[in-house]
Amino acid sequence: MLTGGFPEPYTFGRRLVQYFEKEKPDYDIVHDNQSLCYGVLQLQEKGIPVITTIHHPITSDLEIALKNADNWKSRLLIRRWHSFLGMQKKVVPRLDRLVTVSSASRKDIARAFKIETSKISVVHNGIDTKVFRPLPEVERNPFRVMVTASADAPLKGLNYLLEAVAALIPEYPELELLVLGKLKEDGATKKLIARLKIGKHLRFVSGIKTEAIVKLYAEASLVVVPSIYEGFGLPAAEAMACGLPVISTDGGALPEVVGNCGIIVPTRNAKAIASAIKELLGDTDKQDQLGRRARARIVELFSWKIAARNMVELYSCRTGVKKANDVVTDD
């Protein structure tokens, strides 16, 4: 056990190897979802077909968390929690088959783990376009902006959106920001809200079912994704699948997902976010146009059907049915 650390990646790997030694399962392939542990490497060395998904390098999370830490004690705890990165940096270069969810993540992973991009395949995350869909029968609130963000996770950039909302309220007193996320009672976000005096314009929602989330999307006029970094950007893609115009930062893979179906702004820029919100609030035709294009883009490029097809191709490569160079990815 590591004091202040996160031991699960280590202990999971041990349990994994113990399971294979005891049960001797006859799997065609083992797909690791970013544990990047010694145990997965041991399975590969035993000749078991392994493929590993890395959504994005956790080194990015560590860097952002350290930059936002208030004091040396916080930085020490952050480094201790991320101590498993030492293991991951040893394991990743030795894994034979790696896959990630965006071209942006592929470049970042290659840089973080000092490997070639050619070693990493890309299969975008899939969106269930039958679940996340427009609900034309639901009336939109013309002044509701929606965001999905952990309230006190610096990576998600919620503070910049809150500052943007505060700047817009004098001109748009009806403005409402609905946050899919939980507010920490003693967290930095609550203090910021109090300082900005915008509490009555905010609503935090958490712990609800997917159907309720889709209805909330239908009631909103636009969605903002203020993240500093995203390895893919599921909140952006889900909102787009619901036919909503999206304002997104250029953090990580977000431009890759949003394409020309939204407004892209720089990260850490509250003024740019405010300007984009103002532009869309004043132009319902543009809202509708972007929303239609957004839905079409997700259906065409990011549906579960496409994701499943591409992943099956990778599985076939790993088990020797096809060569790795035959795999086509949506770069």
Using CA atoms in the order 18, 20, 22, 28, what is the torsion angle rounded to 10 degrees?
170
Other CB atoms within 10 Å distance of the CB of residue 126: 20
Instruction: Give the side-chain half-sphere CA count within 13 A for 106.
Output: 20
36 or 290, greater pLDDT: 290
Residue 129 corresponds to which tokens in the numbers above? 């376009």
43 or 62, greater pLDDT: 43
pLDDT (0 to 100) of residue 81: 64
What is the Cα–Cα distance from 60 to 111, expressed in whole angstroms?
A: 11
pLDDT (0 to 100) of residue 50: 93
Residues 164 and 71 in one domain: no
Residues 80 and 189 in one domain: no
Interval 310-330 mean pLDDT = 59
Query: Is the pLDDT assigned to residue 23 strictly greater than 60?
Result: yes
Q: Give residue 165's domain range.
A: 144-301
How many domains are there within the chain? 2
Nearest to 121 by CA among 151, 97, 138, 137: 97
* Rounded-to-5 percentages of helix, strand, coil across the chain: 50, 15, 35
pLDDT (0 to 100) of residue 7: 76
287: in domain? yes
pLDDT (0 to 100) of residue 220: 97
Interval 79-95 mean pLDDT = 80
> pLDDT tens across 186-204, in order?
888 899 999 999 999 999 9
Residues 118 and 214 in one domain: no
What is the Cα–Cα distance from 146 to 214, expressed in whole angstroms?
A: 12
Residues 273 and 308 in one domain: no
pLDDT (0 to 100) of residue 320: 47
Q: In what order do the strands lie in the sheet with 262-265?
A: 202-205, 176-180, 144-148, 222-225, 246-249, 262-265
Average pLDDT across the chain, whole number: 88
CA 33, 258, 291, 262 dihedral sign is positive
Interval 14-27 mean pLDDT = 92
Query: Is the pLDDT assigned to residue 63 strictly greater than 60?
Result: yes
206: in domain? yes
% of the chain with per-residue pLDDT over 70: 87
Confidence (pTM)? 0.83
Residue 17 corresponds to which tokens in the numbers above? 């190897």
Residues 286 and 310 in one domain: no
58: in domain? yes
Interval 204-232 mean pLDDT = 95
Residues 188 and 294 in one domain: yes
